[in-house]
Structure 1
Amino acid sequence: MSSRFEEIDWRETPMGAISLRRRLDPALKIDVYEIKLDDEYLMSSLFTVAEIELARLGLAALTGSDLDVVVGGLGLGYTAHAVLEDPRVRTLTVVEALGEVIDWHRRELVPLGSALTRDPRSHLVHGDFFAMAADADGFDPRTPGRRFHAILLDIDHTPRHVLHPSHAAFYTADGLRRLATHLHPAGVFALWSDDPPDEALQTTLVEVFGTAQAHRVEFPNHLHGGDSANTVYVASRPRTS
């Protein structure tokens, strides 16, 4: 059995102090990996259902094969790993603002590090997702202007509770229109949020993409013995654009 608590890594970053921790959950008797930014929890391996559903629901909205996918936000890698489990996926580009998080995966300090870094379809990019979304060059520095079949985003807590004020403009109609230029016709944008479905956001997604649906994803919360829920939005571009 592993030790009760271990701080695996701690670094100062431009966004604050980021840490990777592992603790033994005494009730479940499993190791739990957690990422914190200052005093805020960014991700826990105890709660991954909605992160996996972000990939599943986003890709389920697509037809065809040879899919090229972007994931915004690496975290512990559960969304990216779920993307790679879909046999239709040809390439995965993961954009992560913190090089420290990419380094944890490359050093295999997190449980999914090996699976993500050794899969030839996977490419980890150190960059600002929101700046890249607004730039015509897009998300793949190797192929400027490249378009994708799906873009899946899990960075901010919610569109209203962002990690940095500069992210807020992305969630406006203008910001989402710039993102849409990086998608193929019939491409999909999917977004994770910690809040319940937001009618105003869904209206904006429909305005920009044409169709959008909010999925309430429930999962057991072992901390209080009940259930919790996140929201996954899935928006699709028209087939001709």
Structure 2
Amino acid sequence: MFLKTNSSQRNVIAFLIVCAIVVTSTTVGSAQEVQRVASLSKVESSRAAASKQNKYTFIMFWKDQDEATKAMWSSLQQNLANKKETTTFAAVNTNDPAEAKLVEEYGVSRAPMPLTLAIAPNGAVTGSFVKKINADYIQQSFVSPAKARCMLTLQSRKMVLLCVNQDGKSAMPQGVQNFKAIPCYKDIVEVVSVSAAESNESAFLQELEVPKQSNNTTVVFMAPPGVMVGMFNGNVTHQQLIAELQKAGKGCGVEGCKHCKE
């Protein structure tokens, strides 16, 4: 069953994609991992260490030491000084050869400067701030685990099937399982399960306008770059999911939206 959504629900997904960034990840062997770690730049190493400590990393990219750059850096220092247990921050000159990989990773070489990106422990970019940053912007960058996972998946150009249940113990809806099992979809969709009872997820679910007090699982279907494909109850079939995905057409950033055959 498809749950009708209004324009605010369809637009809310735009807030999940804070900037056009493709995050890539690969599985490497231990020897390769040692080599990769050894080749990390100073800021890359700081980001990796922060991730292991479940901290957010704020990176300010800059080109010129103008007033805007100085003001942004000062604001970061002031607002993060009392958040050392949960954050770390660094500045990167986009012309610094040592940080060229980082600049390329986030695609910021031609972005307006200064630019600060907020990066969650899992690697999701949860905030993108040009020219100015303040305490409110920084606070908005801290997101729930489920939201961070959804954001990272979308930024990795994959689809998300967010399954919201009341007790956190409900089985994955059969339609979601069937959709995930389709060969050409299985590697480009991630299923994220969350309990509506988790207090730290309430703001995220409210932003998505997930129905409250539902006795059934709610399935929120999202696709890159920022498409709310639809919202369904737990009885949704994989055929319905495919049909709604195809309706998304060119608005969906996954090739399978148009060409994947069951």
Q: TM-score, normalised by structure 1?
A: 0.28
Between 1 and 2, higher relative CO (CA 8 Å, sep ≥ 6) is seen in 2
Structure with the higher strand share, 1 or 2? 1
Structure with the higher helix share, 1 or 2? 2
Which structure: larger Rg? 2
Q: TM-score, normalised by structure 2?
A: 0.26
